[in-house]
Amino acid sequence: MVALHSMGSPAPPLAQHIGLPTSIPHLPPTPIKSIKKVEEHTRFLIRRLLPIGLFLVAFATVMSILILHMDNTAMKHHQFTLNLSKDLELNSISQDNPQLIMYLREVALFPAIETHHKPLESQEDPTDETEYVLRLLNHKQNGVFVEAGAYSDGRSSKTEVLERRFNWKGLLIQPDPRHYFNLRRHNRLRSQCAHACLSPMPYPREITLHSESDVKINDIYSNSMDNPDWLVIRVKCFPLFSFLLAFNTSTVDYLSLETGGTELQVLETLPFDRVKIEIISVDLKDDKEIGTIKKFLATKKFKYIQKFNYSYIFMMNHVRI
């Protein structure tokens, strides 16, 4: 047993009682080379990981911006599609507005020629309808025509023979851009043309035109959102009377209308007390409205006289057959 020490004397260290060394062993210092290796390894890791970290941050930033841009673009595209389905009504502009007439003369009307491409083959013989019109007018020379829907099949026009053989002049109106460029390649030297449509209202409009490869002119009031595969084109439409004023004429010997279902509305916009028209040809694929058109033109002193395929011919009462 360990003897108890007397009061007042310090107790020996515990290490002495259990036989442990009383001094702490001295550890050797860490070599400087080891510290340098750790620092070099740390710098190596930083050099390797920093570009990866920066890349991940940049990638996340770019993807966030791209997602926001795509969402914004999708919203704008949706709004644009909605706008395409709406017609722009310029009902504050009358059809005889001087500024509108000046706009048509300087911006909308062009010579019906195309000098940068090979001319397309011209018609040699008149159609039955054209021959009939010539007979009604006693084979008149230097007449005036207006043809809406010229070259809608890409090849033919009811007025080409009138111009080339009988020195007529006139207006050619075509809303479909494909047929419009074909029109100009026929080099109608005495005519002017417009890439536009005839407004069914007595003021200008901007509408959406829908067309397919196998359809000439579709209903201009169709909704493009229901037919996403169709070619959608924004087209300006002007009243027929505005075109006549821009062309400096109030007399038309032969008016040919093929407007895709708006023929009656186009005729209703005409102030017949300010224009003189000898013969009107109305092209109708659906003859449901022919009765209404006959009644309307009868009030304007026109009478129905003949039909050729889809064309209904009307003439003023004073014209002799």
Average pLDDT for 127-142: 95
Side chain identity, residue 5? H
* Domain segments of the chain as ranges: 110-212+230-316
- Cα angle 247, 250, 253; round to 5: 95
Q: How confident is the model at residue 223 (pLDDT cuts 50, 70, 90)?
A: very low
Q: How confident is the model at residue 26 (pLDDT cuts 50, 70, 90)?
A: low
Name the phi and psi angles at 82, rounded to 5: -65, -40
pLDDT mean across residues, the chain: 81
Instruction: Give the chain's length.
Output: 321
pLDDT at residue 280, as a whole number: 98
* Sign of the torsion angle spanned by Cα atoms 160, 164, 167, 173: positive
pLDDT at residue 17, as a whole number: 55
A 10 A CB-CB count for 243 gives: 24
Average pLDDT for 302-317: 94
Chain mean position to CA 226: 16
Place of tokens 């003189």: 276
Is 3.90.1300.10 the CATH classification of the domain at 110-212+230-316? Answer: no
d(Cα 150, Cα 112) in Å, to the nearest integer?
A: 11
A 10 A CB-CB count for 308 gives: 17
Identify the residue with better confidence: 122 or 204.
Answer: 204
Identify the residue with better confidence: 120 or 134.
Answer: 134
pLDDT at residue 216, as a whole number: 38
Residue 130 has pLDDT above 60, yes or no: yes
d(Cα 160, Cα 166) in Å, to the nearest integer?
A: 10
pLDDT at residue 276, as a whole number: 96
pLDDT at residue 219, as a whole number: 44
Q: Tell me the pTM.
A: 0.69
d(Cα 144, Cα 252) in Å, to the nearest integer?
A: 5
Average pLDDT for 274-292: 92
Residue 135 has pLDDT above 60, yes or no: yes
pLDDT at residue 231, as a whole number: 56
Side chain identity, residue 114? E
pLDDT > 90: what percent of the chain? 49
d(Cα 257, Cα 264) in Å, to the nearest integer?
A: 10
Average pLDDT for 135-161: 92
d(Cα 156, Cα 152) in Å, to the nearest integer?
A: 8
Place of tokens 């009682």: 17
Average pLDDT for 65-77: 77
d(Cα 144, Cα 247) in Å, to the nearest integer?
A: 11
pLDDT digits (tens, 9 = 90+) for 155-184: 889 999 999 999 999 999 999 988 998 899
Identify the residue with better confidence: 135 or 66.
Answer: 135
Burial group, residue 173, by CB count within 10 angstroms (0-12, 13-18, 19+): buried
Identify the residue with better confidence: 35 or 202.
Answer: 202
| Pick from 236, 256, 234, 240: nearest CA to 310 | 256
Identify the residue with better confidence: 261 or 147.
Answer: 147
